[in-house]
Copies of this chain bind each other. A is one copy, B any other.
């Protein structure tokens, strides 16, 4: 073990985000994995639960034990919403940094938890300690955070392309249409009749129209980062693919805002961010970002309406990848460490 290695543990190692975290972290040069925690899976070895990991890591999944926590520098929590609160609290009280990949610390209002997540919040006093982990927009806050609320997958795909245009005042924020399509891994690994292959394959369906829990998250952070309160409608759809989100945003654009101006705006905010690729006039495709931490953004203006297209891998930039990006920020490393050797910043040095 290198001196100064970051010792990390993961709660929820048996799920899909847990698996992606492990895959990234075992190749991260500055990280040592200490504990993998689970509940139903505890007692099994991680390579039994995720056979793809055989030959890459061998470790028993443990029940979380608060007394272990002190040999860890950072706790990742990859659990369904509502289940992370106790672990965040334990870590916070022990002075251990924590990144929650779920939704338990992204919102401010208890009523929003009741309404959208259908449960109470048992540690409301910690909500204002948590920093939103949208790496490209909150870097300095993240660097000093005790608790990072890692963004949701849909919000990441919506906020990255939309914040700059709203903030610069070039779009009509009174009605923004946001249509997202997601692969199935976003729904996690639990059995459910409407998620079996025969029900999802060769089909598409919208779901939670007007009631998805990512709506208050999008609203809160659009406002926080742009300074403007927009009105939007968000409709998620289920895609018959495993990984990837495709988001299509339509909004009226100022008469003065042509493609050149929009490109300037995107460049203003993203020319130095390694994981956002403004690919205009090309069209984003999910397959170009899967298994990467990239967010690809394209756009087109027609008849006074701008169409913005963005795509991410929901498990990487929408979950585990952005979590590691945030870990890098929190521990003073290059954002790209362990995520990709040759990315944009390195290219510019060539």
A residues sitting closer than 8 Å to B (CB atoms) are 16, 26-27, 51-52, 54-58, 175, 177, 179, 181, 183-185, 187, 189-193, 195-207, 209-210, 231, 233, 235, 237, 239-244, 246, 248, 250, 252, 274-275, 277, 279, 282-292, 294, 296, 298, 300-305, 307, 309, 311, 340-344, 347, 350
Task: Specify which chain B residues have a CB less than 8 angstroms from the CB of A350 in the assembled complex.
Answer: 58
Task: Check A231–B303 contact: CB distance below 8 A.
Answer: yes
Shortest beta-carbon contacts, A-B, top 3: A210-B302, A177-B177, A203-B287
27 cross-chain CB contacts under 8 A = A16-B198, A26-B341, A51-B282, A51-B288, A55-B275, A56-B340, A179-B250, A181-B204, A184-B196, A184-B201, A189-B196, A191-B193, A197-B197, A199-B287, A202-B241, A202-B243, A202-B244, A202-B286, A203-B290, A204-B244, A205-B284, A206-B283, A206-B309, A209-B307, A233-B303, A233-B307, A235-B250
Q: In this complex, which of A187, A191, A192 has the most chain B Cβ atoms within 10 angstroms of its Cβ?
A: A191
The answer, among B56, B203, B341, for a CB contact under 8 Å with A241, is B203
Task: Check B307–A235 contact: CB distance below 8 A.
Answer: yes
Task: Check A342–B26 contact: CB distance below 8 A.
Answer: yes
Task: Check A285–B243 contact: CB distance below 8 A.
Answer: no
Told that A183-B198, A191-B191, A201-B201 touch, could you supply 8 new A-B pairs with CB distance under 8 A?
A: A27-B341, A51-B282, A177-B250, A179-B250, A233-B250, A235-B250, A237-B246, A240-B240
Task: Check A277–B209 contact: CB distance below 8 A.
Answer: no
Q: Shortest Cβ distance from A281 into chain B, in angstroms? A: 10
The answer, among B189, B191, B285, B290, for a CB contact under 8 Å with A205, is B285
Q: Shortest Cβ distance from A156 into chain B, in angstroms? A: 17
The answer, among B246, B289, B305, for a CB contact under 8 Å with A175, is B305
A205: nearest residue on chain B (CB-CB)? B285
Q: In this complex, which of A179, A181, A193, A340 has the most chain B Cβ atoms within 10 angstroms of its Cβ?
A: A179
Task: Check B274–A55 contact: CB distance below 8 A.
Answer: yes
The answer, among B26, B185, B197, B344, for a CB contact under 8 Å with A200, is B197
| Complex alpha-carbon distance, A240 and B305, angstroms | 27
Task: Check B244–A241 contact: CB distance below 8 A.
Answer: no
Task: Check A52–B274 contact: CB distance below 8 A.
Answer: no
| Complex alpha-carbon distance, A291 and B27, angstroms | 14
Q: Shortest Cβ distance from A266 into chain B, in angstroms? A: 14
Q: A26-B341, A202-B290, A291-B291 are in contact. Are A300 and B210 (CB under 8 A)?
A: yes
Q: In this complex, which of A56, A187, A274, A287 has the most chain B Cβ atoms within 10 angstroms of its Cβ?
A: A287
| Complex alpha-carbon distance, A243 and B198, angstroms | 8
| Complex alpha-carbon distance, A285 and B204, angstroms | 6
